[in-house]
Chain A
Amino acid sequence: MALAPSINCAETDLTADFRDQFLLTYQHMLLARVLEEKLGSLYRAGGRIVGGVYIGKGQEAFSAALGVQLRKGSDIYGPLIRDQAGRIAYGEPILDCVRTYLGTITGPMRGRDGNIHRGRPKEGLLAMISHLGSLLSVVAGGLFARRQAGTLGDSIGATSIGDGGTSTGAFHEGLNMAAVEKLPIIVSIANNQYAYSTPNTRQYACENLVDRAAGYGIEGVSVDATDLASCLKAFRAAVARARSGGGPQMIVGTLLRLAGHGEHDDASYIPDKARQGTSARDCLAVAEKFALDHGWMNSTDLRELNEEVRLNVDQTISKVSNEPAPDPFKENWQALSSADLVEGQHEA
């Protein structure tokens, strides 16, 4: 059986353009990591964050390598739970993130939805719902409508999911539809080995998730998701194929989630053996070492970058902390845009 190719980055791929993108993506990863650490500590301190905190520690390289390829405002991006780094790389300001976590009225969701359930659909950034798999067809629909209207051009769509989400009917329906319509969509699958606590062995029975691509008649590649260089190479190629009419592209990245499902989860179900394997490498440390080894950064650059990022995060959180919470008396409680058709506003 011919298996789908696996992507590795060779030394010959390291052009100046690649170096610039690598360093830019690394900065996005670092910002995501620092931001999420801060959100985690705010959560543990209690009182400030409503609901849970869901972080992408260990998935930053894979997530940001996709986000950085997308053109904000023209490409459609449907990020999922562990895509803070991808969101930043796409161009979502971290203000949107902090405002949504803190539930302020100033955020894009105005306190009506929280944490990772945020977006600005009119600007190409879809707002996920919790039902896994369901965004794939929505991204596809956006591309479909643009093709209908003649405005698609070379814009593409992208969405991501984990190994667990690939078991849903919605994922299969959406992927099949996107394939039938030959839409320019990137489907990024972070195989982080555990769907909440359920291991791969209880999630799917095929050898590698990327083998599924063939079943839908689309291209698929595997990549070591702890290695930013390989991720960038894979997503660059997939995005280029999608932009030039190659149809849906699936990329499966192998890694281990380096945190719990959410900050409430200590991930004690992950065995020590897994924690010591190659897929448990920290993608941020791997990327850092790669940049240092190639002379693309030195330790001073790293220290300055860290200081800058921490300042940015602290200032953002302090700014948002002083912003107003939603006021139930000013809320219009309308779930329909047609105000004349709204029900349930009667006083009891």
Chain B
Amino acid sequence: MSITYLEAIREAQYEALRNDPAVFLYGQDIATFGGAFKATKNLSKEFPNRVFDAPISEDAMVGMAVGAAVEGARPIIEMQFADFSSVGFNQIVNQAATLYWRTNVPCPITIRMPSGGTAGSGPFHSQSMEAIYAHYPGLVIVTPATVEDAYWMLLDSVQLNDPVIYCEHKFLYYHLKADQIGDHELPIGKARIARPGRHATIVTYSAMVHEALRAAEELQLDGYSIEVVDLRSVKPMDTDTILASVARTGRLLALGEAFPWGGVTAEIIARVTTEGFHLLDAPPMRLNSKDTPIPYHPNLWKSHRPTTSTIAGALRRLLRY
């Protein structure tokens, strides 16, 4: 008996619906069809009148969730692809994100964003939006990298009285399995040491955690032990855990699948250099995808984003400094 990352997301929604009658699901093709990725499969059968198909209207979907939240509901919105949330951008950053600040009324909504690339997905079905939303005050951005986090962080998100952008990685949907969902351990806002080490630290999140772990295995053969920090949430970002790790290793590689300009890796490096410059034995390094739209053909796609081998290469350069 095992459970995939995708099944964990479905199970968490099942639990959320079961635990609280104020929870409902709204998104395109999520009812009878069960969602483009089947993340809501059978939920409309189990919870009739709690799972609704939405028109193709990301702006209206988020606006509707905000209005529902004001009335005491706890909606979970499914964006079919994170890329499409750009249509609902205004409602997310101006309506949902400002509601509590402006009116003192909390906005408990969860927006699920199937994020990141898979082979053949191309420019409009592969984007990672976490840095865009993290830029805005009033939003919490979570990026689960494990089956456990996919499950618990979704349940935590639904219970939180603030808007949460839940970035689930599509590549992990079927590639990641666990024997079972473990206990709830870390709250949102706390990073996890995915692998301890003492020669260099990789700070990363989401699907890149697994590439980083494989790169660390590779470096192990050269006699280096690499620490991997899984941020779990990019906002808030657990700066203390990052700094403590860099204090142990003296070297930092900030790694992310998203586009390079600005973004989460830039934020990690800014925090470490401003708050922990004295901890560094080498200039911090960052590795992202290339600064182009995301390519379609698998050959191009594999070279566009960081992989185990490019991460290992970056680590070797970092360790040689």
A residues neighboring B (CB under 8 Å)? 76, 108-110, 112-113, 117, 119-122, 126-127, 129-131, 134-146, 148-149, 169-170, 173-174, 176-177, 180, 334-338, 340-344
Shortest B75–chain A CB gap in Å is: 8
- Inter-chain contact B91/A134, CB cutoff 8 Å: yes
Q: How far is the CA of A341 from the CA of B67 in the complex (A)?
A: 23
Q: How far is the CA of A113 from the CA of B49 in the complex (A)?
A: 37
Q: Which of B69, B100, B188 contacts A335 (CB 8 A)?
A: B100
Does B105 sit at the interface, judged by CB under 8 A? yes
Q: What 0/1 readout, one digit per residue, does chain B (35-77) give for beta carbons within 8 Å of chain A?
A: 0000000000000011000110111111111111111110100
Given contacts A109-B103, A112-B102, A337-B100, contact A148 B57 (CB under 8 A): no
Does B137 sit at the interface, judged by CB under 8 A? yes
- Inter-chain contact B235/A136, CB cutoff 8 Å: no
- Inter-chain contact A177/B54, CB cutoff 8 Å: yes
Does B308 sit at the interface, judged by CB under 8 A? no
Q: How far is the CA of A138 from the CA of B91 in the complex (A)?
A: 9
Give the residues in chain A near B75, CB-CB below 8 Å.
141, 145
- Inter-chain contact A170/B101, CB cutoff 8 Å: no
Shortest B172–chain A CB gap in Å is: 24
Given contacts A109-B103, A173-B57, A174-B60, contact A338 B160 (CB under 8 A): yes
Q: How far is the CA of A144 from the CA of B22 in the complex (A)?
A: 12
Q: How far is the CA of A134 from the CA of B70 in the complex (A)?
A: 15
- Inter-chain contact A113/B102, CB cutoff 8 Å: yes
Which chain B residue shows the least CB distance to A169?
B59
Q: How far is the CA of A135 from the CA of B75 in the complex (A)?
A: 17
- Inter-chain contact B162/A336, CB cutoff 8 Å: yes
Q: List 10 A-B contacts (CB under 8 A).
A: A121-B99, A137-B59, A137-B60, A138-B70, A141-B64, A141-B69, A144-B64, A148-B68, A170-B63, A335-B98
Give the residues in chain A near B101, CB-CB below 8 Å.
112, 334-335
Shortest B198–chain A CB gap in Å is: 28
Q: Which of B49, B64, B104, B140 contacts A177 (CB 8 A)?
A: B64
- Shortest beta-carbon contacts, A-B, top 7: A141-B67, A137-B63, A141-B64, A145-B68, A173-B60, A173-B57, A138-B67
Given contacts A336-B140, A344-B137, contact A140 B64 (CB under 8 A): yes
Q: How far is the CA of A41 from the CA of B130 in the complex (A)?
A: 46
Does B263 sit at the interface, judged by CB under 8 A? no
Shortest A60–chain B CB gap in Å is: 26
Q: For chain B residues 159-175, which have a beta carbon within 8 Å of chain A?
A: 160-162
Given contacts A145-B72, A146-B71, A177-B54, contact A119 B103 (CB under 8 A): yes
Shortest B306–chain A CB gap in Å is: 26
Give the residues in chain A near B137, CB-CB below 8 Å.
335, 344
Apart from A121-B99, A137-B59, A145-B75: 6 A-B pairs, beta carbons within 8 A: A112-B101, A134-B63, A139-B67, A169-B59, A335-B101, A338-B160
- What's the tally of chain B residues with a CB closer than 8 Å to chain A? 51
Which chain B residue shows the least CB distance to A127?
B103
Shortest B96–chain A CB gap in Å is: 10
Give the residues in chain B near A144, CB-CB below 8 Å.
64, 67-68
B residues neighboring A (CB under 8 Å)? 21-22, 24, 49-50, 54-55, 57-73, 75, 87, 90-91, 94-95, 97-106, 137-138, 140, 160-162, 188-189, 235-237
Q: How far is the CA of A110 from the CA of B62 in the complex (A)?
A: 26
Q: Which of B63, B65, B102, B161 contacts A117 (CB 8 A)?
A: B102
Give the residues in chain A near B95, CB-CB below 8 Å.
129, 131, 134, 138
Q: Which of B67, B97, B102 contacts A137 (CB 8 A)?
A: B67
Q: How far is the CA of A113 from the CA of B98 in the complex (A)?
A: 10
Give the residues in chain A near B59, CB-CB below 8 Å.
134, 137, 169-170, 173-174
Q: How far is the CA of A112 from the CA of B137 in the complex (A)?
A: 14
Q: How far is the CA of A124 from the CA of B73 in the complex (A)?
A: 15
- Inter-chain contact B91/A180, CB cutoff 8 Å: no
Give the residues in chain A near B106, CB-CB below 8 Å.
337
Q: How far is the CA of A130 from the CA of B93 in the complex (A)?
A: 12
Q: How far is the CA of A14 from the CA of B62 in the complex (A)?
A: 43
Which chain A residue shows the least CB distance to B66?
A138
- Inter-chain contact B67/A343, CB cutoff 8 Å: no
Q: How far is the CA of A176 from the CA of B57 in the complex (A)?
A: 9
- Inter-chain contact B90/A136, CB cutoff 8 Å: no
Which chain A residue shows the least CB distance to B91?
A134
Q: How far is the CA of A146 from the CA of B75 in the complex (A)?
A: 13
- Inter-chain contact B94/A121, CB cutoff 8 Å: no
Give the residues in chain A near B69, CB-CB below 8 Å.
141, 145
- Inter-chain contact B67/A142, CB cutoff 8 Å: yes
Q: How far is the CA of A148 from the CA of B69 in the complex (A)?
A: 12
Give the residues in chain A near B49, CB-CB below 8 Å.
148
